[in-house]
Structure 1
Amino acid sequence: MNLSSLTELSFYKLSTNISLVFNINSDWIAPFKLRYINIRSCKLGPKFPTWLRNQSELNTVVLNNAKISDTIPDWFLQLDLKLQELDVAYNNLSGKVPNSMSFLDSSTVDLSSNRFEGRLPLWSSNVTKLYLMDTLFSGPIPHNLGEAMPFLMDLDLSWNSLNGSIPMSVGNLKGLITLVISHNHLSGEIPHQFWSNMPFLSILDMSYNNLSGSIPKSIGSLSSIKFLILSNNNLSGDLPPSLQNCTSMESLDLGDNKLSGNLPAWIGESMPSLSILSLRSNFFGGNIPSQICSLSTLHILDLSHNNLSGFIPPCLGNLSCMKVKPSETRQ
């Protein structure tokens, strides 16, 4: 009650187990003006904490895993905050997310693992990290996403109910490092045009959608790509030879598609850091190239449920750190 000069409040716990409970009356008026609040894995709920009602100077609000089962109240929006970070992930917040919130340069927004609904929100261009994983957002990805938020570096829209195609405006996100849009209902082809504009993209995960067509040759221009995950779609055609330009690849998962052709030898020759190679449940034929044996960092090799023939290269047995799931004939 006497901490009238308090500006920063942090109760941070790495474990998700909650042991500390804030037992504060709903009519309590805080005597301080916080700029920074970081509360993780402590119980604040079930209501959104009303003692924040007069905290009009906040620029960092982290209420992560705080057992809040409520909507974001109107009074919080009326504080007219300029936020550097907003993290209310891993609660049970519901309702629609307003587009009226304002953010400072290089800001972070994390609304993951809640029960928000409606269309994806679009905020100011200052947001660089946006995590909207595992909510109830539906509808298409906004067609003007790239124009509205052009400085995004990390974008995670996974585990929602998004539909429609991947908008071409994503090509404006030239600073992207992470793009995760897996576990949705997206359809259409993977855009062919804009991947050469993303020199920093390291993680691309489009798995568990309804994407069709071929793998774009332009994905081979992603010189920084380490994780390419396109599994569980309806992709078809051969592996584009341009992928051999992705020499930093650590995980390549193209399983559960309709890809065909022979397994290229360049996988073993051009991706020396590869630790996961999963091409399961496709229509690949021919033999297993012996060049795969040169992948000394390979841990997981899954070629099951294809149309492979010939012999398993004996040298695979020399890769002591690998778990091998050998090829099987599609029934």
Structure 2
Amino acid sequence: MGWCSLSPTIPSSLLYINSTRSLRTLHLNGNHFGFSVFHWLFNLSRINTHLVDVDLSYNQLKGPIPDLFSNLKHLAFLDLSWNNLQGRLLEKLRDLCSLQVLSLGGNNLTKKFNSIVQTLSRCEHMELQALDLSSNALWGSLSDSGIFSRLSLLRQLDLSWNKLDGAISEDIRQLSKLEYLDLSCNSLEGEVSPGHFAGLSRLQHLSLANNHDLVLNFSRNWIPPFQLDTINLRSCILGPQFPKWLQSQTNFTYLDISNSSISNSVPVLFWSLLQPNLVYLNMSHNNISGTLPDTPINFAFFPLIDLSSNSLERAAPVFQGNVRALILSNNMFQNVVPLLCPTTHLMYLKAIELSNNLLSGELHSDCWIYMDRLEILHLENNNLSGRLPSFYGLENLKSLHLRNNSFSGGLPSSLKYCRSIVLLDLWFNSLSGCISPELENNFPSSLLVLSLQGNNFLGSIPLSLCQLSSLQILGLSFNNLSGAIPKGINCLLGMTETPDGNRTSQGSLSIDYDYTYGGIFYSVEYINTKTDAASLVWKGTEISHMKKLRLVKMIDISSNAIEGDIPDTISFLTGLVSLNLSRNNLTGSITKKIGRLSSLESLDLSSNQLSGQIPESLSSLSFLGVLDLSNNNLSGEIPSGTQLRGFDPSTYVGNPELYGRPLPRKCSRGQTPVDSPTEKSFEQKDDDDDSDVFPWLYISIVLGFVTGFWGICGTLMLGYRSRL
């Protein structure tokens, strides 16, 4: 009855089980059961003493389990994973000597691993074969002598995502039956040598990933005793030489040695050993040099291959076309034609990532004829030139990144064949001409992101652009556009969605590659965090947003020659997060309805010719964190309240008739600064007081001086005359 979403209390339909004395298997995983399920289970166990298999995973169990758990003497399979169990849980299991499989991953266990082993090994004849303690907070070292000898029957051991540290004891080689070992995502360190694996001839799955100070120190002549199916050594130290022992592994379907300090070339023999059943290959973020072989490799399961962030050069490899995703960014590839313009066979590629290379030359119009499955294409930050090729045949394309190249000419009408496109990024090329008035016919309704910044487009913004009802990010900055902002801008319904998600996005930029092979489930994300990046300019700085696109709504039309008013209809775009209309020729006043843009976080209207007062409604935008109204003709007092008066004075400079905090002074056009009314009321009072006090002070001083002078002189003269 797993994954039935039953209520937290035990349904009456299960109570009849209490009268069943022969129950052996009980699966209630994936429901919402709380602590009360334990009381029901132990009442059941008093009658049903032969329970062998209990699965309560993915529920809402919290705290410790009762002592009565030890009554299940015949229990062989126990799965309590992905709950919130804690406390003295493992001490209650010490008498379950029939346990063969124990799964406690995804809880909140905080014990020392050595004490757990001691608890589980108290039975004289322990039968434990699979132990999963992953995703807890276990601590301690794996270097203690004898720590693994007590678990000699183990076939599977998963201690990943804990807080284990120190070196790994060579005693691990005593686990001679071990087939699955996962120690990834801990803080293990020290060296791993051939001695650790001397007795592990049955090992098929090895994962030591994300132990950044763990060094795999094997001689070049070492031949492992095992044949691995899964090898995950990401972010361990394998280099600087390419690990030669990998050439002895001829059965692996999953290999990840990314970020492992490898800095030489890959032996040619290694590529010939890749098997048709490969599903994932990742050697990214090393310093691997040289070229890739041109020999065809036929894969059966359409793998994802990631060789990005290395020093590979020359032509991008083809891999015979039956690869699902090929990630080659941040290398030194120069020739992309063999990959993008095949001439002999169909390509099964869904994603190609070739950004940040040395690609140059033109893309021919027949490049895509064999790539009808392509969904994501990254060619940004290269030196590709010429006109944009025809996009005929790319009906499944979702995300196209061509920014920062040297493409010229206009937008091809063939983009209309990309009926599934979600993101179009052509930022910083040399594209020119007018944006077609028939834009809605050239772009499908699925378009979420349109980025045309940094080109040479002319003419006005076509009204037809407003018919792209799903559009959520619009970038037209740094062009030569003129005319007015279309009043029909309120038809961009995709920008009316608020962060609460009142509207549903029409597209997604995520592609997941899921493989099931040999009982192992792989899920590999091509786009990090299931998002794609979109960029905008805030105060002249490019910012890359990695939020999910349904939460990011942006318009950037800055640095053009747009004129006229800001239309009131823009206030209907209530989901806007960023609005940048700066460095244009906009006139008129700021619409009083701007306060309706309740989601706005950034507003830049600087360097225009806007006049009038700042609307009071602007002070109601509680999320506003970036504001620039500088270099306009705004006048009057800045609206009161901390929201607007809390910004830096640079927000308002260059508006001679604007006053109020945070501006200290009011300036009249063509005059030197004079005091603002508020300041003047205090300073004038001081001036008036001074004007009254100082004249009388001077008179008093003079009179005092005259009186004193003649008083003294008169006395002396009278005395002198009396002596005469």
Calculate the TM-score normalised by the size of structure 1: 0.85
Q: Does 1:24 align with 2:242?
A: yes
Shift of 1:319: 2.0
Is the Cα contact below 8 Å between 1:181 and 1:207 reproduced in 2?
yes
Is the Cα contact below 8 Å between 1:255 and 1:282 reproduced in 2?
yes
% same residue? 28
* Separation in structure 2 between the aligned mates of residue 242 and residue 72 of structure 1, nearest angstrom: 52
CA distance 1:87–1:261, change in 2 (3 Å): same
Computing the radius of gyration over CA atoms, which structure comes out larger, 1 or 2? Answer: 2
Is the Cα contact below 8 Å between 1:68 and 1:92 reproduced in 2?
no
Alignment partner of 1:220: what SS? helix
Shift of 1:96: 3.8
Instruction: Tell me the equivalent position of 2:564.
Output: 261
Instruction: Tell me the equivalent position of 2:519.
Output: none
Is the Cα contact below 8 Å between 2:228 and 2:251 reproduced in 1?
yes
CA distance 1:194–1:8, change in 2 (3 Å): farther
CA distance 1:42–1:184, change in 2 (3 Å): farther
Alignment partner of 2:396: what SS? coil
Shift of 1:165: 1.5
Q: Deviations over 1:281-322 (max 9, x none)?
A: 111110000111111111111111111111111332232321
* Separation in structure 1 between the aligned mates of residue 597 and residue 413 of structure 2, nearest angstrom: 36
Q: Deviations over 1:14-43 (max 9, x none)?
A: xxxx96646227898454255555554445
Is the Cα contact below 8 Å between 2:271 and 2:293 reproduced in 1?
no
CA distance 1:241–1:63, change in 2 (3 Å): farther
Q: Which runs of 5+ in 1 are unaligned?
A: none
CA distance 1:273–1:11, change in 2 (3 Å): farther
Instruction: Tell me the equivalent position of 1:315.
Output: 617
- 1:80-229 equivalent positions in 2, closer than 5 A: 80-98=320-338, 99-100=341-342, 102-104=346-348, 107-120=350-363, 122-123=367-368, 124-142=371-389, 144-145=390-391, 147-196=392-441, 197-229=443-475
Is the Cα contact below 8 Å between 2:242 and 2:264 reproduced in 1?
no
CA distance 1:141–1:38, change in 2 (3 Å): farther
Q: Residue type of the partner of 2:327?
A: D
CA distance 1:71–1:265, change in 2 (3 Å): farther
| Greater mean alpha carbon deviation, residues 295-304 or residues 79-88 | 79-88
Q: Does 1:296 align with 2:539?
A: no
Q: Deviations over 1:78-135 (max 9, x none)?
A: 7524111101122333334412385327x11111112222223734111111111212
CA distance 1:132–1:61, change in 2 (3 Å): farther
* Separation in structure 1 between the aligned mates of residue 596 and residue 385 of structure 2, nearest angstrom: 44
CA distance 1:69–1:29, change in 2 (3 Å): closer
Alignment partner of 2:414: what SS? helix
Is the Cα contact below 8 Å between 1:56 and 1:79 reproduced in 2?
no
Alignment partner of 1:75: what SS? coil
* Separation in structure 2 between the aligned mates of residue 11 and residue 212 of structure 1, nearest angstrom: 53
* Separation in structure 2 between the aligned mates of residue 193 and residue 33 of structure 1, nearest angstrom: 55
Is the Cα contact below 8 Å between 1:67 and 1:91 reproduced in 2?
no
Counterpart of 1:251 (choices 554, 568, 576) is: 554
Q: Deviations over 1:221-250 (max 9, x none)?
A: 211111111111111111122321113321
Q: Residue type of the partner of 1:159?
A: N
Counterpart of 1:305 (choices 607, 624, 631) is: 607
CA distance 1:53–1:26, change in 2 (3 Å): farther
Higher RCO (CA-CA < 8 Å; seq separation 6+): 1
Calculate the TM-score normalised by the size of structure 2: 0.41
Runs of 4+ aligned residues of structure 1 deviating over 6 Å after TM superposition are 25-28
* Separation in structure 2 between the aligned mates of residue 242 and residue 39 of structure 1, nearest angstrom: 53
CA distance 1:63–1:209, change in 2 (3 Å): farther
Q: Residue type of the partner of 1:112?
A: S
Alignment partner of 2:493: what SS? coil
* Separation in structure 1 between the aligned mates of residue 289 and residue 406 of structure 2, nearest angstrom: 21
Counterpart of 2:579 (choices 271, 277, 284) is: 277
| Greater mean alpha carbon deviation, residues 309-318 or residues 192-201 | 192-201
The structure with the greater share of residues assigned to strand is 1
Q: Residue type of the partner of 2:323?
A: L
Instruction: Tell me the equivalent position of 1:74.
Output: 294
Counterpart of 1:55 (choices 262, 266, 274) is: 274
* Separation in structure 1 between the aligned mates of residue 478 and residue 318 of structure 2, nearest angstrom: 43
Q: Deviations over 1:229-272 (max 9, x none)?
A: 1111111111122321113321110000111110001111x101
Shift of 1:170: 0.8
* Separation in structure 2 between the aligned mates of residue 49 and residue 224 of structure 1, nearest angstrom: 49
* Separation in structure 2 between the aligned mates of residue 20 and residue 27 of structure 1, nearest angstrom: 11
Is the Cα contact below 8 Å between 1:65 and 1:90 reproduced in 2?
no
Q: Residue type of the partner of 1:177?
A: V
Alignment partner of 1:139: what SS? strand
Is the Cα contact below 8 Å between 1:44 and 1:67 reproduced in 2?
yes
* Separation in structure 1 between the aligned mates of residue 627 and residue 577 of structure 2, nearest angstrom: 12
Q: Residue type of the partner of 2:569?
A: W
Is the Cα contact below 8 Å between 1:48 and 1:73 reproduced in 2?
no
